[in-house]
Structure 1
Amino acid sequence: MPRRSSLLSGTLVAGAMLLTTLGLGGVAMSAGTPASSGAATASLATGHTAHTMDMAMAASTATSADDPDGDGYIPANPPVTGVSPSTQDPPHRYFHEFQANCSVTHTAPDDPIVFPQQPGKSHDHTFLGNTTTNANSTTASLAAGGTTCKAPGDKSGYWMPSLFNGAQKILPVGPQTIYYKAGVTDYTSVRPFPKGLRFVVGSPMQTADEFRHHPGFVEGWECGDSYFNVAFPTNCPNRADVQLNIRFQAPSCWDGKYLDTPDHKAHMAYPVVKPGTNDNVCPADHPVAVPMIEFKMAFPVNGDLSQAKLASGPSYSFHYDFFNAWDDATLKALVDHCVVGGLQCDARGYDQTHPEAGAALDANYELP
């Protein structure tokens, strides 16, 4: 593992080179807007440029209650040690998942992972789940907040770049589907996320080719019968039952050491294929199997999408952030019952095709 000083130095050098190449400084962003607003809050191009530059420099200024020294490393307490990637092949089950159904709460140009304690520095984000997520959010503040997720125990923060169609901000309506799945073949080895784990999936700076070949790419932008799109479909069927959709998967192997790292990615990894098999296993340097999050977002827009754009830039700049603030016991009950148990569960942890298995949560989506 590289020394902290070397990785941090490399981050700062990369940022300096990027600033020199662009010949630009930081650009101030406008204040956040409530979820009901339909107007763009800032130039999309300006927001993308500022975010691109500042992401490279974030490690030099990222201080928070969770990371008081601002070096970008947040150690797990306790760390998970003595784990080897599981190569077991348990009995095949078609499903090993449950849903976290969470609604949009608000929008704001904040990002407590990339730009902690720096309100207004990010491009505009659409937030789901925790109702209090903002630039100042910490593990403790999220735990004390409310949630729009069906399970009251899920106070996690989920966010993604806001979608605009022309000048109109398009927000998902109602509970969205956030899957928690097994990303490895040995679904019985998956364990819950540690409290405070956070990471970024994808990048606002990725190219169209990088987006298409990203390990988290599932079916790209979907609309009607059109799938695997890197660009927004130029013509979605203009029908009430048609929405623009995207599905994108997160890494599901953790290093067991850090809740965050300076690039907000290095502590996480995607599974790899075990040589000579079709089995997905965690790599040796990220041996801890955790749930694989899959965003499945539906945006109520169709028809002509030639003016559609993300706050972070073009369609292929899609990415999202996750900040774990689940109640530990609730998350463990769902992971054990649904993922380890090989079931296809709803937000209660109930699989309607296996009613004999019961549910992990009660009718109020709480522990019984």
Structure 2
Amino acid sequence: MKQWASLAGAALFAPYASAQFTMLRFACSQLVVERTDPLVNPGVLYTPHLHQIVGGNAFNASMDLETYDLPGRSTCTSCSFAEDFSNYWTAVMFFHHRNGSYIRVPQVGNGGPQGRLINDGGLDVYYIPNGRVTAFKKGFRMLAGNAANTDPSRVQGSYICHRCWPSTSDNPFPGGAPCTGSDTVEIPRDPGCKMIRQTIYFPVCWDGVNLDSPDHQSHVAYSSGNPGGGGGNCPSSHPVKLPQLMYELMWDVSKFADRNMWPTDGSPPFVYSMNIGGAAAHGDYVFGWKGDTLQRAMDNRCNLNNDCPAAGIHFQQPAVYNSCKKPQQAVEQVDGWLASMPLGEPAIKA
């Protein structure tokens, strides 16, 4: 197992390494950007902060996450696998201009040794197996990170991190595995950063019983091993090994490198939509793969974003998944320069 994980880490993250293991790695474009969160604030419009949501277009502020049939209700998915109607969402990064205005930071697909992914905003998703894993069950959901946290010391830097990218190209690929080396919990404040990569690793161990928990975290746990290799041994309280779910976001900050645009009071130029630091970075997940396709993909070692007949999963062309959009349910302006960030308004029940 240790040897396999070592090979996995080398193949996944070493520049130009030959692939010695397999994983799903695919693009998910933005479905909608709005203030909804059916996991933490079910049924509420204008939740405390803005999210970018990707995946199946059956996403709804008031969906019952345990019984809601995402594959059956969705007519498209903004992810590149046609069978994945899961929903994945994160906070949005803003640039704060010294004149007080805000604008969303644009996003791009990641490249690297495994090839470039094409996104219309959104994020890249990884499912990394380590030996035999049990796929998520219908109704499963979880949360990584804490949207209210302001203390970087309370964040495990090997699970949630940021990397300063010195150019808008990823060739040569800077650094090694995510959340290693000079990667930081906080968002970098270096004008030399042309892109900022955000990585969110989810827990890989499950109690085997509960599809959720009151805090959306207690039913899962991190393993003892390197998450980049799919994780290690699970604790006895959470004995079921899941696929290692990872989000990867590439924020293009190249247009904001001029310090003359940055705030003069020392406040950070880049903030998430909670309007607090990178220690509050977080990700939400609701499982929605069609049938048993994810389990079959893990069992058959389906690779990257390719068709995999053994699992019955099919890659969609970018024009297809990029066209899957959903109108805002919490309607408000989120594009262009804004006088203030979309947050703090009274919540409205949908």
Higher helix proportion (structure 1 or 2) = 1
Q: Which runs of 5+ in 2 are unaligned?
A: 9-20, 97-101, 109-117, 167-173, 176-181, 226-230, 263-267, 318-350
SS in 1 for 2:197: strand
> Hey, what's the Cα distance between the residues in 1 that align with 2:224 and 2:316?
34
Q: What RMSD over aligned residues (CA atoms) do the two structures have, in Å?
A: 2.8
1:347 aligned onto 2:292? no
Match of 1:136 in 2: 62
Match of 2:79 in 1: 149
> Hey, what's the Cα distance between the residues in 2 that align with 1:362 and 1:150?
10
Give the 3 Å change call, closer, same or farther, for CA 134–169 of structure 1 in structure 2. farther
Query: Given the two structures, how large is their TM-score scaled by the length of structure 1?
Result: 0.62
Match of 1:318 in 2: 281
Could you tell me which of 35, 41, 59 is aligned with 1:109? 35
> Hey, what's the Cα distance between the residues in 1 that align with 2:208 and 2:31?
31
Could you tell me which of 265, 271, 294 is aligned with 1:309? 271
| Amino acid across the alignment from 1:220 | H
> Hey, what's the Cα distance between the residues in 1 that align with 2:83 and 2:283?
21
Give the 3 Å change call, closer, same or farther, for CA 299–200 of structure 1 in structure 2. same
Could you tell me which of 113, 137, 143 is aligned with 1:194? 137
Give the 3 Å change call, closer, same or farther, for CA 125–360 of structure 1 in structure 2. same
Give the 3 Å change call, closer, same or farther, for CA 121–365 of structure 1 in structure 2. closer
Q: What is the aligned length?
A: 254
Whether the aligned pair in 1 keeps the contact of 2:206 and 2:238 (CA below 8 Å) is yes
What does residue range 56-71 of structure 1 map to in structure 2 within 5 Å?
Answer: none
Identity %, equivalent residues: 24
Give the 3 Å change call, closer, same or farther, for CA 314–364 of structure 1 in structure 2. closer
Runs of 4+ in 1 over 6 A off after TM superposition: none
Give the 3 Å change call, closer, same or farther, for CA 131–299 of structure 1 in structure 2. farther
1:168 aligned onto 2:103? yes
Query: Given the two structures, how large is their TM-score scaled by the length of structure 2?
Result: 0.65
Whether the aligned pair in 2 keeps the contact of 1:101 and 1:150 (CA below 8 Å) is yes
Match of 2:187 in 1: 232
Tell me how far 1:171 sits from its aligned partner: 4.1
Relative contact order (C-alpha < 8 Å, sep 6+): which is higher? 2
| Amino acid across the alignment from 2:136 | F
Whether the aligned pair in 1 keeps the contact of 2:157 and 2:185 (CA below 8 Å) is no
**Larger Cα Rg: Structure 1 or Structure 2?**
1
Match of 1:81 in 2: none
Tell me how far 1:331 sits from its aligned partner: 1.1
SS in 2 for 1:234: coil
Q: Which runs of 5+ in 1 are unaligned?
A: 1-87, 274-278, 351-357
